[in-house]
Amino acid sequence: MPSQRSSALTAIQAHPDSTAAPLLPSQREAIAVIDFGSQYSQLIARRVRELGVYCELLPHDVDEARVRALDPRGFILSGGPASVYQEGAPQLPPAVLALGRPVLGICYGMQLLAHALGGRVAPSQRREYGHAVVRVCTPDYPLFRHLPPELPVWMSHGDVIERLPAGFRALAESEHSPVAAMASDQGLIGLQFHPEVVHTPAGKELLRNFLFEVCGCRGDWTSGSYVEQAAADIRARVGDGRVICALSGGVDSAVVAALVYRAVGDQLTCIFVDNGLLRQGEAEQVIRAFRQHQHIPLMHVDARARFLNRLAGVVDPEEKRRIVGDEFIRVFNEEAQKLGTIDFLAQGTLYPDVIESTSHETRAAARIKTHHNVGGLPADLPFQLVEPLRYLFKDEVRRVGEALGLPEELVWRHPFPGPGLAVRILGEVTDERLALVRAADAIVMDEVRRAGLYRQVWQSFAVLTPVRTVGVQGDFRTYGHVVAVRIVTAEDAMTADWARVPHEVLAAISSRIVNQVPGVNRVVYDITSKPPATIEWE
């Protein structure tokens, strides 16, 4: 899953010899989540982390040595699209049973356990998809502790367990699944439904019970403990080398910079390229936060004119992306050279990107937009990479940012695309159009904040459309721009829904934009989910 990134620098390909050794949070309790291709696999990992237990999402054909190195307290087996009895269906990695730790199989994971241990899995007479109610037959079983005997759950399966493996018993049933949950005395547990999704209200409690009651975890995964561990890892890796980091204004690069600074102090220099495509007040805010508050050495490069010149006359979205990425790398390289010898480049690769690059499932093969590979640096880049966020999800990055004392406005800032406002102006990017969309965007943000919605929504912004419409203002006909307002909710950016914002908030946004942004006479609200639309308009 290509996750959103905060800077074009994430496009940089490491020199083949310079692949960063993982900054692994060593010596902590861990859970291994084995990925069988479910759309919810990452969600399982996030839920476990939310419960304060470190976990890694591993492909189903993972090496046994890798699993042993992680030394997990337990395993969670994800769901998946295959049927266990099909030829070529993903099988249980041998390490899962060899380690003798508790296992929680979810959906396909449960069927796989049953299949591998001699039970029978067969196609169901009726596919069970959506809401269901399970009746718990063994309320004393640790997994169901503190839970009522009837649980609304989310099902999504076409196979059922017809015969349990020897030594297993059914723990729960539903209308169409006689075995909605099962367990052996050895702590091998299966759930036919999905505890990781919000549609299973008791799901978090079930996962908590598995982690703490069954696996005996303590829950030592906190942002504070991560900061200390990561800083020690960075120090060990960087030694007395010099590090550069590109700041974009987004949360990922900000947290990387603050973390690396915590680890190696002035050995770090940050480069902030103002490409002129940022939101209102963003450049000043970055400079204030880093130079004045954190005292982090920062080079501020005003490259606004360069970017604008290169974007002149360009209307194609992919071309805009390519130009912004390419120009960024040129500017960045020029500035880096002024610094003399630099050994390391710190960048904000997040865990979803790591998962994506190591996943054996070829998901999302079709390129929708060029998110990262804009431009690209030469392959013989002379830096080694430091990627201290490579085991974190976005919400964890934010918590680490808070633990590092970064300002709330930076840590909780909505994601922003690398090509910035260039992809929120449909058509040509000019100074005038930038000013217009920036002003409208600031109003959207302001009203969303005022309504107390800023942290509840994933993104909120304005788009300048290439459309002009007729209006009337003060008895005069106008022929003005149309601004689209996009406010979306999402758990991650893979899917999103348009936010059901109260009408009064939309009214305030609309009224302020047409009154305060010259040239705009119409405001529309985007009511499309992703898919089929994307979050950004370009």
394 binds ligand XMP, rule: CB under 6 A? no
User: Which among 265, 243, 135 is positioned nearest to 192, based on CA atoms?
Assistant: 135
Q: Quick one: which of 30, 217, 263, 535 contacts ligand XMP (CB under 6 A)?
A: 535
Give just the sign of the alpha carbon dihedral 327, 388, 212, 68: positive
- Mark whether 107 is an active-site residue: yes
> Which of residues 3 and 177 has its CB atom nearest to ligand XMP in the complex?
3
| Catalytic option among 29, 128, 196, 335 | 196
Residue whose entry in the numeric block shows the structure tokens 């059901």: 500
218-229: burial string, b at 16+ Cβ within 10 Å, e else: eeebebeebbeb
CB atoms within 10 A of CB 310: 16
Evaluate whether 525 touches 448 at the Cβ level (below 8 Å). Answer: no
Taking CB atoms, the residue at the shortest distance from ligand XMP is: 4
**At its nearest, how many Å lie between ligand XMP and the CB of residue 457?**
12
| Catalytic option among 55, 60, 107, 335 | 107
> Which of residues 225 and 495 has its CB atom nearest to ligand XMP in the complex?
495
Q: Show Cβ contacts of residue 85 under 8 Å, excluding neighbours closer than 6 positions.
A: 115, 121, 122
Evaluate whether 381 touches 341 at the Cβ level (below 8 Å). Answer: no
Query: Which of the residues 99 through 128 are near ligand XMP (CB under 6 A)?
Result: none
Alpha helices, DSSP H, located in 312-376: 317-338, 351-358
327 binds ligand XMP, rule: CB under 6 A? no
Pattern 452-471, binding to ligand XMP, x per CB under 6 A? Answer: -------x------------
CA distance 439 to 427: 18
Q: Quick one: which of 418, 422, 425, 444 contacts ligand XMP (CB under 6 A)?
A: 418
**At its nearest, how many Å lie between ligand XMP and the CB of residue 497?**
12
**At its nearest, how many Å lie between ligand XMP and the CB of residue 419?**
5
Give just the sign of the alpha carbon dihedral 12, 15, 16, 19: negative
413 binds ligand XMP, rule: CB under 6 A? no
Report the DSSP pairing between strands 120-136 and 168-173.
antiparallel
419 binds ligand XMP, rule: CB under 6 A? yes
User: Which among 6, 114, 109 is positioned nearest to 58, based on CA atoms?
Assistant: 109
Pattern 370-389, binding to ligand XMP, x per CB under 6 A? Answer: -x------------------
Angle between helices 351-358 and 41-50 (to 10 degrees): 140
> Which of residues 25 and 417 has its CB atom nearest to ligand XMP in the complex?
417
Pattern 476-515, binding to ligand XMP, x per CB under 6 A? Answer: -----------------x----------------------
Q: Say how many CA atoms lie within 13 Å of 297 toward its Cβ.
A: 13
Evaluate whether 480 touches 522 at the Cβ level (below 8 Å). Answer: yes
Pattern 334-373, binding to ligand XMP, x per CB under 6 A? Answer: ----------------------------------xx-x--
321 binds ligand XMP, rule: CB under 6 A? yes
Q: Quick one: which of 105, 375, 417, 480 contacts ligand XMP (CB under 6 A)?
A: 417
Q: Quick one: which of 15, 204, 304, 530 contacts ligand XMP (CB under 6 A)?
A: 530
**At its nearest, how many Å lie between ligand XMP and the CB of residue 248?**
8
| Cα of 154 vs its chain's centroid, Å | 23
Residues that bind ligand XMP (CB under 6 A): 4-5, 321, 368-369, 371, 415, 417-419, 459, 493, 530, 534-536
Kindly list the catalytic residues. 107, 194, 196
